Amino acid sequence: MVSTRAIALAMLPAASGAGAGREEAEAFAAELRQAPRTMFGGTRLGEALEDATAAFESAPCTAEQEVVDISSDGDADPAAAAAAGRARDGAAARGVRVNAIGIGRMPGGTPEDWLREHAVTVGGFAPGTEDWAGFARAMRRKLAMELATACDAPAGCADLGRWR
């Protein structure tokens, strides 16, 4: 895990048919829980996307797919929208897929609408949840969507309805 400018980046190796064992996953989760968090300065989504995209450059291996997953309550600030849009365009130019989970409400729409407009790349998606209490359910749904996307089946290979 790398911490840059108060943004936490985690690079997880994942491969079809193989992956980290339970012990490695639990160790990673424990490390992530201990990472320092700051609650000031806004979302800074543009910086997060730039840092995540740059992290692929120094990855210890070449990935079949480069995917950035973000969770956010959105940001209605015009400067933040422009920064996020530029970072999204940079990620898309590299072929990175950006997915997101929008949390809560914001004036004039939902965070997931904002994320779809300013952060999610073509092929990415952004489910939402009303509040942090529904975050676990939204995360399960997002994971099911990612797995369905990875299957390359026309209708996907997961019954997404059961994850709602």
Residue 16 has a pLDDT of 44
Sheet with 97-103: strands ordered across:
67-72, 97-103, 128-129
Task: Look over the chain and give the mean of its residue pLDDT values, rounded to a whole number.
Answer: 76
Query: Which H or E run includes 2?
Result: strand 2-4
Q: What is the pLDDT of residues 23-32, one digit of tens each?
A: 877 887 788 7
- Look at residue 99 and tell me whether its pLDDT is greater than 80: yes
- Look at residue 17 and tell me whether its pLDDT is greater than 50: no
Q: What is the pLDDT of residues 36-57, one digit of tens each?
A: 766 555 668 888 899 889 988 8
pTM of the entire predicted model: 0.71
